[in-house]
A = this chain, B = another copy of it.
Amino acid sequence: MSRVLIVDDEPAIVIPVRDELAFEGLEVACAEDGPSGLKAALEMRPDVLLLDVMLPGMNGFDICRKLRPELPEMWIILLTVRGQEVDRVTGFEAGADDYVVKPFSLRELMARVRVGLRRKTPANHQRVYKFGDVEIDLRSRTVKRTGRDVPVTRKEFEILALLARRPGEVIPRDEFCDLIWGPDVFVTQRVIDTHIASLRKKIEPEPDEPQHIFSVRGVGYKLG
């Protein structure tokens, strides 16, 4: 599922945009000031970032400049009330991909977000994560160990991909449920343990002594 992060301190902007994005089936997160927006973008790695220029703590241009080298793929749309040329050009020079002036039409913003989602990842750009001898390719949905294909099921793949996207970070069970099963599906959180067990059998040299997928007692699992 594609992810969008909104960084803006005006609820009148954030709320309708957030709701509309969620309605379109996207995963949405929000931040209300510069520093937490920067942190959220680095952690969440959204596909599209909607970034206000005038923010408490740190302005949008600076956030843009910091993020761009780190996450060149991320699609950044700047939002601002200021429409003077100098600002726009500054925005593009800071690495933004688009620039929308408030007040904007919600439908137009949605259309621009869709452009970002469509253009963000070139079709033949490989999205691969590597961990030791394990390789996860999001494009072909394949997992390799020591170069050899390991067949994994859908849930196993989604769990592994989620872990891989946030290496080192502990992912709680309820977050697995939210992100993989969705908010409307109710399953025992123990299913995750079952899938983790079969994943370990497939990708760990010694499933009893995991080297990749670690359990974090009382919370969830982490990779790496």
Contact = CB atoms under 8 A, between A and B. Distances in A.
Interface of A: 85, 88-89, 92-93, 96-99, 105, 107-108, 111-112, 114-115, 119-124, 139-141, 153-154, 165-166, 168-170, 216-219, 222
A216 B124 contact: no
Nearest to A154: B218
Contacts of A216: 141
A222 to B, nearest CB: 6
Given A141-B170, A219-B141, A92 B119 contact: no
A220 to B, nearest CB: 9
A108 B112 CA distance: 17
Nearest to A92: B111
A123 B89 contact: no
A121 to B, nearest CB: 4
Contact of A92 (B114, B120, B121, B124): B114
A93 B120 CA distance: 17
A123 B85 contact: no
Contacts of A85: 105, 107-108
Contacts of A218: 154
A222 B85 CA distance: 46
Given A119-B120, A139-B168, 15 more contacts: A85-B105, A85-B107, A88-B111, A89-B108, A89-B111, A92-B115, A93-B111, A96-B115, A98-B98, A139-B169, A140-B168, A140-B169, A141-B219, A141-B222, A154-B217
B105 A88 contact: yes
B115 A97 contact: yes
Contacts of A121: 119, 122-124
A115 B93 CA distance: 10
A99 B109 CA distance: 11
